[in-house]
Structure 1
Amino acid sequence: MAHHVPQRVLVTGADGVIGRAVVADLIASDIAVTALSLRFDVDTAADRCVIGNASDEDVVMQALEDVDAVVHLAAIPHPDQGTAREVFVGNVAATFTVLSRAAAAGVTRAVIASSVHASGIPLNHAAYMPAYFPLDENLPSAIDDPYSLSKSVDEQTLRMMASRWGMSGVAFRFPLTAGEETLRWAAARDEADPSLRVREGWAHLTLPDCGAAIRAALTADYVGAHVLCVASGTTLLTRPTQELLREYAPTVPVRSAIEGHAPAVDTTAMRKLLGDIDALAGRSAL
């Protein structure tokens, strides 16, 4: 059974790579979009645009007019793209501002961008390996950078909004999420040195798959806050995943079989909550 389909969705970070794809996907699904971004370098198809910072309450309140769902993507996406304080404080302030103002305005459904980095494992300077494969939402964390910490706090923020105000929603732990050109570059890099992304389970997400997952999280029938791993159906590599794990993570337990070229990320929880999203089912990205 489907949740009420939103009439208008606020998309923050709407001029980013993911944001542009999400805006296009929603509009193609006949859902109106209000686009919020620090700036717009590319023309947007959204019929309403707000320029400003997602941590600014006045900006967010303006953007929330007539909105009944939120997709929050605005963030500094890597610890190297600002000082530690800018990355952590900026990200968590934006998430809290958007979700708290949305909840106060009566919005009951939100989707936010968490990250595979929420566990801290992929960016940990000590090169810790995951406790197990395939990666899932319960993976023990080892956070030592401000970006990963911000994503972990963002997940808690969504849970707080669900508890306090009854907002339901999903925090997606996005892996590498990009367009075809970037994924081709990543495929060549991964093929040359698979060790570079072993701690991410070699997962990626195409932009169409990302749009389909977010739309499902906006419209599916569920309550409460949920953290979900998400990935396209295959890796970008030519070798089977189990073979790669034997070579590049020989000491890490593999708790369930990983078939063929499926990523070493468990998306069972996502499929259980949102149903089988056809776009994510076993399709090669390239």
Structure 2
Amino acid sequence: MPRTLVTGAGGMIGRATVDHLLARGVPVTGLSNVPFAAPVGARVVIGDARDPAVVAGALDDVDAVIHLAAIPSPLADPPEVVFALNTQATFTVLDQAGRAGVRRVALASSYAICGLPFAPHRLSMPYLPVDPALPLQIHDAYALSKRVDEETAAMAHRRYGMTVVAMRLPFVGDTGRLTAAAERFRTEPEAGANDVWSYLDARDAGRAMVAALSPAEPGRHVVYVAAPETLAPYPTDDLLARFHPGTPRPSFPGRMAPIDLTLARDLLAFTATHIFEVRSA
């Protein structure tokens, strides 16, 4: 059976993605720049996703790619390193995949591409809910790298006829990470304003990346995914009135996440199933 290559397989989302593929009976090759405890049945390649020779070797017998390898924020590395590593890895993986005849790719983009999470000063949303047409306000190297990654996906689609889905992932966490964030948003709701308090369980992130390999329509797509409710214990409308005043928007009942998830549902048949139980305020 043809296998799927998962880059960044040793990371949190990478591990969840590999687990989900193996559970479905799909052979997996996991590419990682550091050794990791791979599940039984996964082939492991240790190497740099920026290296064409490493990537070409990892693509042996592969018919689909899930590209996750990246520096996940601009906070721990110099901006020139974040931008250069992320964009070079994405170009190398997609270009080598195209040359190898791979025609299905899911790419990890980010909600942070909107510009708010890592901006040096407070920004306002142009409108809500967040959707793929939202004007971007990029102020940092990480968001810029994701914008270039999405343009690389467009290039791969045009050059190789590849179907590529760029998934704009929100804050992703396991139970411990989500618990800590939820508690912070309970006591400091302003801490989640730039992310509109959105999140996704790592297991759902893995499912979403796999779903992105089989969109209902071929082509190049950009899709937001998130849990349907926020990680804050307060009504969404109250939070938005306080932290995004004046932003054009409809009403969001209860704790509804102010992100348009229609495309994830209609194009990918994906909805989050691991919903975090938020403690009341």
* Range class of TM-score, shorter chain: over 0.9
Matched, 1:270 2:261: no
Mean CA deviation greater in 121-130 or 31-40: 121-130
SS of the counterpart of 1:79?
coil
CA contact (8 A) 1:178 1:205 kept: yes
TM-score of the two chains, using structure 2 as the length reference:
0.94
The 2-side partners of 1:193 and 1:168 are apart by 41
Could you tell me which amino acid in structure 2 is paired with residue 284 of structure 1?
I
CA contact (8 A) 2:226 2:259 kept: yes
How big is the shift at 1:40?
2.1
TM-score of the two chains, using structure 1 as the length reference:
0.93
The 1-side partners of 2:179 and 2:60 are apart by 39
The 2-side partners of 1:20 and 1:131 are apart by 35
**Cα deviation 1:81-138 (Å, max 9, x = unaligned):** 2111110010000000000000110000000110011122221112111111111111
Deviation beyond 4 Å, 4+ runs, structure 1: none
Match of 1:176 among 165, 171, 177: 171
The 2-side partners of 1:149 and 1:27 are apart by 33
Q: Which runs of 5+ in 2 are unaligned?
A: none
The 2-side partners of 1:125 and 1:200 are apart by 15
CA contact (8 A) 1:35 1:46 kept: no
SS of the counterpart of 1:219?
coil
CA 1:147–1:29: 2 relative to 1, 3 Å: same
CA contact (8 A) 2:90 2:152 kept: yes
Equivalent residue number for residue 112 of structure 2: 117
**Cα deviation 1:17-53 (Å, max 9, x = unaligned):** 1100100010001111000001123343452110011
The 1-side partners of 2:215 and 2:71 are apart by 28
**Cα deviation 1:154-183 (Å, max 9, x = unaligned):** 011111111111100211111111101100
**Percentage of matched positions with identical amino acids:** 41
SS of the counterpart of 2:156?
helix
Equivalent residue number for residue 84 of structure 2: 89
Equivalent residue number for residue 135 of structure 2: 140
The 2-side partners of 1:87 and 1:129 are apart by 25
Matched, 1:127 2:122: yes
SS of the counterpart of 2:168?
strand
CA contact (8 A) 2:13 2:203 kept: no
Matched, 1:152 2:143: no
CA contact (8 A) 1:7 1:32 kept: yes
Equivalent residue number for residue 251 of structure 2: 257
Matched, 1:100 2:91: no
Equivalent residue number for residue 231 of structure 2: 236
SS of the counterpart of 1:80?
coil
Q: Which runs of 5+ in 1 are unaligned?
A: 1-5
Match of 2:23 among 19, 28, 31: 28
Equivalent residue number for residue 192 of structure 2: 197
CA contact (8 A) 2:74 2:118 kept: no
The 2-side partners of 1:259 and 1:171 are apart by 28
The 2-side partners of 1:88 and 1:173 are apart by 17
Match of 1:63 among 37, 58, 63: 58
The 1-side partners of 2:41 and 2:16 are apart by 12
Equivalent residue number for residue 276 of structure 2: 285
The 2-side partners of 1:236 and 1:137 are apart by 22
CA 1:85–1:45: 2 relative to 1, 3 Å: farther
How big is the shift at 1:260?
1.7
